Amino acid sequence: MSGMIERLPGRPTFPDLFGWVEGGFPVPRTAPGIYGIRIEERLTDGMYVLRAELPGIDPAKDVEVTVTEGLLTLRAERTEETKEKHHTEFRYGTFTRSVRLPAGAKGDEAAAEYKDGVLTITVPVPEKEAGRTIPVRHV
């Protein structure tokens, strides 16, 4: 029953708050099994850097990074290896996250690297031009 919360004896009827803290707040979903990706961002030395946690993912076949009209979108897929588990807190399915790039970012020059479960994407951002003062002539 997608979207419904199961009521268990002695348990409250609200979602698991620890799951929200660990996995990020729920992403509005259009289908079950879609989860958000935890990220960190910084802008330094003319470069926008986004790091995303994607442990247990094969970046060569399970990760897609796209830039369209200033919107950077990450999409990853993690499939369950076996059905015979006693207990799991791993999440399987589709993980996705979109972020707006800073103004002037050169999305067509973006680069991505994956190491130790972290995907790092870098996008050049040109330095802002200094403003120009326009003299006003008195006529």
Quick check: is 9 in a domain?
no
Quick check: is 10 in a domain?
no
Quick check: is 26 in a domain?
no
Quick check: is 15 in a domain?
no
Quick check: is 117 in a domain?
yes
Query: What is the reported pLDDT for 33?
Result: 61
Query: What is the reported pLDDT for 112?
Result: 97
CATH number at residue 102: 2.60.40.790
Contact at 8 Å (CB) between 76 and 17?
A: no
3-state class (DSSP) for residue 108: helix
Query: What is the reported pLDDT for 80?
Result: 75
Quick check: is 7 in a domain?
no
CA distance 22 to 37: 11
The total of other beta-carbon atoms located within 10 Å of residue 95's CB is 25
User: Which structural domain, as residue segments, surrounds residue 77?
Assistant: 34-124
3-state class (DSSP) for residue 76: strand
CA 50 remoteness from chain centre: 9
Quick check: is 22 in a domain?
no
Q: pLDDT tens digits for 14-45?
A: 444 444 444 444 444 445 667 889 999 999 98
Query: What is the reported pLDDT for 5?
Result: 46
Domain count along the chain: 1
Quick check: is 11 in a domain?
no
